[in-house]
Structure 1
Amino acid sequence: MSGPAGHALSLQGVAKRYGDFTAVQGATLEVASGEFLTLLGPSGSGKTTILMMIAGFVEPSAGRILLDGRDITALPPERRDFGMVFQGYALFPHMTVAENVAFPLRVRRMARAERDAKVRAALDLVQLDRFADRRPSQLSGGQQQRVALARALVFDPALLLLDEPLSALDKKLRAELQEELKALHRRIGRSFINVTHDQEEALSLSDRIAILNHGHVMQVGSPEALYERPATRFVADFLGKSNFIEGEAEPDAGGMALRRGRARVVARGTAPAGRALLSLRPEKIVLLPAEGAPALAEDNVVEGRIAAWSYLGTGFAVTVETPDLGAIRVHLPAWRSPVAPAEGLAVRLGWSRDAAVVVAEDAAMAPQGHAA
């Protein structure tokens, strides 16, 4: 499709208050030209409110919104030239697919020949050119969402805003459309801003993710940076699963150590003397039977017994109760698993010092902290 390349968007201290309730608290975000940014957070975290302020449907109580350096805070939605895709598709049931896609162009009073060419190009982009004469009721959910995407892109918008566009679809179809949406973003080169509460969707689609909680932007970074180096307990716990080990920090030649009971856990990074918190991902832990298995050559080794386990298809989710560190969750691959899980089985756990990362308790971590 022809039209402008991606545009850069900037949110500067944007807030939204409804009486005594503050939905968004001083959000500052930069969206680079051509970037796919996802706003990720639980229900009520403020992510949809931020998207609605970007779209112009909600007026900020404070702060500014800039597009390519131009202040658009007071600009009405129809003059922002942003495409938007909603969770519920919002298609006109009495119109054909082609008529739905053409609607934004008819509003703009585009000439018939140019309008038809743009509609054909948009439908071809989402691989629905064969369905131009059908009505939405004759399409699957995934096809209807593609129509909504084509309609949002047909007028060459400056930005594409996506409000949980895949959440109404089943898991398999959602995964397929995630791949298509990512490929579509690469092809057209526009800036996409996506809202979701689905962690897997955010990780698979995004160039960067902004994690929100209680109206604060807690951390911004690439999917890898956020997953591997979460700044706070909330970020580590919300994006994936994590074990948390709390104890007394002390210096160590390779970084830092944390002492809890008789256990001493070594990790990379530093922490001031006193109470410290480590995040340890379940898939980074090696688990072997306590008897009849080779010794673990990991930096940290603890013993325990399996308290519970479940089969997940690709792997086992195992909970191991340890004397000093409490319950530790481990993810084991199901294929050629080193252990046949059974409740009460004595096991040894091991992980390298690189596997655990120091995180801040949420109350101690100022919002807006950014990942490296």
Structure 2
Amino acid sequence: MQSVIGHALDLAGVAKRYDGVTAVEGIDLAVERGSFLTLLGPSGSGKTTLLMIIAGFIEPSAGAVLLDGRDITALPPEKRHFGMVFQGYALFPHMTVAENVAFPLRVRRMNRAGQQQKVRTALDLVQLSAFADRRPAQLSGGQQQRVALARALVFDPALLLLDEPLSALDKKLRAELQEELKALHRRIGRTFVNVTHDQEEALSLSDRIAILNGGRLIQQGAPSELYEAPRTRFVADFLGASNFLRGIAAVEGRVQAGGTALRVAAPLAAEQAVLLSLRPEKIRLLPEGEAAANRVPGLVSGWSYVGAAFTLTVDTRDLGPMRVTMPAWNAPLRPQQGLAVTLGWDADAAVPVAEDLPAAA
């Protein structure tokens, strides 16, 4: 299978309403050629509805779907030439691996010789050539997922749509297949649109992420941009863990949170109410005498060990309970209940975020 340049996808003002209930509202989204975009959000956020609109299985109530600038909103699914991988793989149990992969080519009435060549190429691509004569029940979950990928790619689709393709796998296998899927995307150069509710998967796989909630597109951007500079409380809280600190902007570069003056790098208008997002891994436990832009004393009220890291809950006077993550290897101390600690973080570690908008009606 030769590497090709992917196709560009654009959604313009896309909405879907069912009997007065809004599933998605006013979605404007551009997917660049050859990119890997993930639609990320909790259950009921509208991400699967949006994917089905892209696929052509659901007709939007408003807006347009464009492929390379051409309006395909009214085009039925079979005319869009999109490959799709479902959560349950949807393999035919009575067919062999090769027959499953060949199915889209049979539907398109390709000759037998052409089918055989394309099936061989697709199975090579997903490293399953040796399993061509097996049936799905003889394969592991990860192997079945690869068969579904090969079947979705065998007819050279314009786009590959992925509906939670890794959610049925255990955590270790899911991590392995994330790497394989990312490498596959790099090799073939097509445009991928993926749906997931798994934040780590979205961060690992994607060139760009579009975060949805309540039927609205809340924020989109590169994974690092969304993680480091969330615009709203929902994005900060959904895409990883965060502490939220409330205060009032005082003099330039300072926020007053009760009796604690916090130094921040973001420009803020004086007397403005501020909500700050502070990631747990950006907080340090300070040895006595070590300087930091922000120093806050507290007591450890709880902790857990997760192998690579300790997660601590530290009760502070003005900021309330704060979550802190530190590497377990060579940790500066061993956590224990009631231990007095000093938390420290840099001025640019905490970023201001907006309160969340109400959900779409």
Gaps of 5+ in 1: 368-372
Which of 314, 322, 330 is matched with 1:328 structurally? 322
Which residue in 2 is equivalent to 1:233? Answer: 233
Supply the AA of the counterpart residue of 1:262.
G
Supply the AA of the counterpart residue of 1:329.
R
Which residue in 2 is equivalent to 1:189? Answer: 189
How far apart in 1 are the matches of 2:357 and 2:197?
A: 22
Which residue in 1 is equivalent to 2:24? Answer: 24
Supply the AA of the counterpart residue of 2:161.
L
Any idea what SS the aligned residue of 1:247 has? strand
| Percent of aligned pairs with the same amino acid | 70
How far apart in 2 are the matches of 1:86 and 1:69?
A: 27
Equivalences for residues 91-130 of structure 1 within 5 A: 91-130=91-130
Q: Is residue 309 of structure 2 the alignment partner of residue 311 of structure 1?
A: no
How far apart in 2 are the matches of 1:7 and 1:265?
A: 47
CA contact (8 A) 1:23 1:46 kept: yes
Any idea what SS the aligned residue of 1:157 has? coil
Any idea what SS the aligned residue of 1:357 has? strand
CA 1:98/1:159 → structure 2, altered by over 3 Å: closer, same or farther? same
CA contact (8 A) 1:281 1:355 kept: yes
Which residue in 2 is equivalent to 1:217? Answer: 217
Please give the TM-score of this superposition, normalised by the length of structure 1. 0.95
Which residue in 2 is equivalent to 1:263? Answer: 260
Equivalences for residues 24-43 of structure 1 within 5 A: 24-43=24-43
Residue by residue over 1:101-158, the C-alpha shift from the partner in whole angstroms, topping out at 9 and shown as x without a partner, is 0000000000111110000000000000000000000000000000000000000000
Which residue in 1 is equivalent to 2:139? Answer: 139
How far apart in 2 are the matches of 1:207 and 1:3?
A: 18
Displacement, 1:249? 1.1
Supply the AA of the counterpart residue of 1:204.
S
Any idea what SS the aligned residue of 1:34 has? coil
Any idea what SS the aligned residue of 1:251 has? coil
CA contact (8 A) 1:12 1:63 kept: yes
The runs of at least 4 aligned residues of structure 1 exceeding 3 Å deviation read none
Count of residue correspondences:
359
How far apart in 2 are the matches of 1:339 and 1:264?
A: 27
CA contact (8 A) 1:251 1:257 kept: yes
Equivalences for residues 1-372 of structure 1 within 5 A: 1-2=1-2, 4-252=4-252, 256-272=253-269, 273-288=271-286, 293-363=287-357
Displacement, 1:250? 2.1
Supply the AA of the counterpart residue of 2:18.
Y
CA contact (8 A) 2:3 2:187 kept: no
Supply the AA of the counterpart residue of 1:311.
Y
How far apart in 2 are the matches of 1:226 and 1:68?
A: 26
How far apart in 1 are the matches of 2:2 and 2:109?
A: 18
CA contact (8 A) 2:233 2:354 kept: yes
How far apart in 1 are the matches of 2:251 and 2:85?
A: 51
Any idea what SS the aligned residue of 1:362 has? coil
Residue by residue over 1:175-206, the C-alpha shift from the partner in whole angstroms, topping out at 9 and shown as x without a partner, is 00000000000000000000000000000000
Q: What RMSD in Å do the two structures reach over aligned CA positions?
A: 1.3
CA contact (8 A) 2:46 2:214 kept: yes
Which residue in 2 is equivalent to 1:370? Answer: none
Residue by residue over 1:254-280, the C-alpha shift from the partner in whole angstroms, topping out at 9 and shown as x without a partner, is xx3210111011112123332111000
Gaps of 5+ in 2: none
How far apart in 2 are the matches of 1:359 and 1:338?
A: 31
How far apart in 1 are the matches of 2:295 and 2:6?
A: 50
How far apart in 2 are the matches of 1:4 and 1:80?
A: 17
Any idea what SS the aligned residue of 1:270 has? coil
How far apart in 2 are the matches of 1:234 and 1:270?
A: 22
CA 1:302/1:3 → structure 2, altered by over 3 Å: closer, same or farther? closer
How far apart in 2 are the matches of 1:236 and 1:118?
A: 44
Residue by residue over 1:275-329, the C-alpha shift from the partner in whole angstroms, topping out at 9 and shown as x without a partner, is 11100000000114xxxx3422210001010011011110111010001111111
How far apart in 2 are the matches of 1:198 and 1:294?
A: 39
Please give the TM-score of this superposition, normalised by the length of structure 2. 0.98
How far apart in 1 are the matches of 2:30 and 2:38?
A: 12
Displacement, 1:61? 0.3
Any idea what SS the aligned residue of 1:24 has? strand
